[in-house]
Chain A
């Protein structure tokens, strides 16, 4: 009996034991990327998550794209474009000789198909949706193919962020033939014009994209990119440390130091179009008084939040617009300094007498960083200047359900974070009088300043970038002074690569662009 048992145990062990070759080493010229979740779909119009954008930006192209290292647009599938004087007509000249991965030709008709599918409810392939971000293009009234390589968009009103929205994943062009062939399953059988061709999607294990030898912008060096979803951050780190990944994104602050001190890894950081702030309820006391709102800005030690809780993975925010929008950012803005004395004085001026203030905190959520720890630290800072803050914590979806309809009668303040692709998006949706929650916007704190409304409206109508920039810069100055929010942090996106990965760079857009990356060994 004992002998049988020993034999059984030994063979069981052998069955589980590794072979001589441990698979942890990744092969040369194949890049393995550790993602934070399984993609929802590889149909660029069906998705909303940055995690999925990281794949799509390498498989598809848009008419325009962001210039390397900036948030300014440059030509991609469109070689050039003209904008009419009234800012309502955009005419694009398309690149010649580009084909989709499925072999069909890219032309003006594909562009028309693409937008009609998303925007026209009568379109035969509208059923392949839903398309949650189609409102990015709600200003498009009509578009038509003028000839094989020219396409004209007519907008219902001047809308300057249009070009920038075209560079967003919702503007990536899909192959009409592939949509017709696969219908609702297109998201699992994608076909674009990008540097990598989709090859395989093994659910919950990997998405494989291989080199597109015919890429119009030069074939990449890598033979293939493999995206692996690993939802648990600790597991992702362990997989990176054991050699199973070449790149991992969204490294928790705690582990960043470990990678920085290890020569076999390289750490990359890049500030992005992200802002983390507190919405203040400007409709009710005490924050209906500007002095009280400024007091909150002075009372919170943002440097301590960024350095101690976020461990240097973010910068202190100065205003409503992230510095990553370099062209539209007001360099003259300085963040509110940490000044508890001044905060106390301002609170006195505002006539605040220690009434209880409800503060909504979320447990997590897109771009929210470390919301519970941050909320608790903020509560302590506000308490220190005499504000009686009571925290209420909610799970992300519940939280959005409470905050988005407006804070009136419920809370004095709430955490919030946004990542956007154009300096227009956030202030337009969250700081205008016309964006109050009952009007379908996100101005949950009811901030209202006619001058800001006017500047934002105007900035949409001007198509000249320098002129737009001036309007945004003026808006930032006013908003900072009015303090409808407590401006807290701008997140720096991070990634770790193996030291053998060359020419990798994070982009301010938060997209993961892999066209130029090399991994010779």
Chain B
């Protein structure tokens, strides 16, 4: 297993390396430049040229890339033009916030999705199944930013039970309780679509397994229904569900962009959107690098878990 993981990690290096080149090229190809973005109405050719020089952007693209990659090996991701602070600090802070949000959402959707899927499958065509199927359909169909705004309107503006935005209280607070309190609405909003997907898949996988002969055998042996479902059926259904949860982890981080914007969650998604619109190349580069590395790790983790669950894959 160790050798497998090491091999996979080594294989990721050229992927990430290629990615940095692609990001550099794309950022160079889109029209507009950081100096114009900073100067706005004052962007005369003369002012732009001077600022580009001050920012080190008068060098060729190749030179800029070589400098960037050289600094990367020294652990320096450069300095953001728009935030005037080291890219690494910003990216790490932002990524931690996204991980907290996405991690909680992933946990929520795994628990709720698996639970709903199993109940649905066991009570196929029953009232619970119909109710869950309907809820899942609604959950998957509506846009998450809309749900977010609706929840803010109900729980923050009208009932005043939860804060409308931010990660910590602006005055006082700052502890775990405060964090959870701020996390509730955005994490729930973010988890809804993934919950639906996991619930649907779990239902199908469970139904598939429940039709297998060995389940009939287990029942015939006189095992309790609970044991049949959780010990025998659920465990083998899980093998096909885990990779989907791994993929959902990617979607949850991707979907976090909208949720971070709606709830003003200081995550990396909203940072990247802003960085692209202000042509903050180094910030985009640093952000993409971190997110891409995380994707690689998540996929690897999902594969490892799957291998452990399914002896046939070893």
Contact = CB atoms under 8 A, between A and B. Distances in A.
A365 B264 contact: no
Nearest to B230: A1
B157 A48 contact: no
A442 interface: yes
Contact of B170 (A32, A203, A234, A418): A32
Interface stretch (A225-233, A339-347, A446-454): A225-233
Interface in B268-307: 270, 274, 277-279
Max chain B CB contacts within 10 Å: which of A16, A188, A230?
A16
A41 interface: yes
Contacts of B226: 1
B170 A205 contact: yes
B42 A205 contact: no
Contacts of B35: 132
Contacts of A520: none
Nearest to B46: A440
A32 B166 CA distance: 14
B149 A234 contact: yes
Contact of A48 (B42, B54, B173, B274): B42
B45 interface: yes
A236 to B, nearest CB: 8
Interface stretch (A17-25, A295-303, A500-508): A17-25
Interface in A436-487: 437, 440-442
A398 interface: yes
Classify the interface of chain A: helix, strand, loop or mixed: loop
Interface residues of B, number: 68
A404 B33 contact: no
Interface string B228-259: 00100000000000000000000000000000
Contacts of A397: 31-33, 36-37, 277-279
Given A130-B51, A231-B261, A40 B160 contact: no
A159 to B, nearest CB: 17
A405 B170 contact: no
Contacts of A228: 166, 170
Interface in A378-427: 395-398, 400-401, 404-405, 417-419
A129 B170 contact: no
A1 B261 CA distance: 39
26 contacts: A1-B230, A15-B177, A15-B180, A17-B161, A18-B181, A22-B161, A23-B172, A23-B173, A30-B171, A38-B83, A132-B35, A132-B47, A184-B79, A188-B85, A203-B93, A205-B166, A226-B171, A231-B270, A235-B165, A238-B152, A242-B163, A243-B160, A244-B170, A397-B33, A397-B37, A400-B32
Given A24-B160, A46-B84, A235-B164, 18 more contacts: A5-B115, A15-B177, A23-B169, A23-B171, A23-B172, A23-B181, A40-B84, A204-B97, A238-B157, A238-B165, A239-B165, A243-B160, A244-B170, A395-B277, A397-B36, A398-B32, A400-B43, A405-B45
Interface of A: 1, 5, 15-19, 22-24, 26-27, 30, 32, 37-38, 40-41, 43, 46, 48, 129-130, 132-133, 135, 184, 187-188, 203-206, 226, 228-232, 234-235, 238-239, 241-244, 365-367, 395-398, 400-401, 404-405, 417-419, 429, 437, 440-442
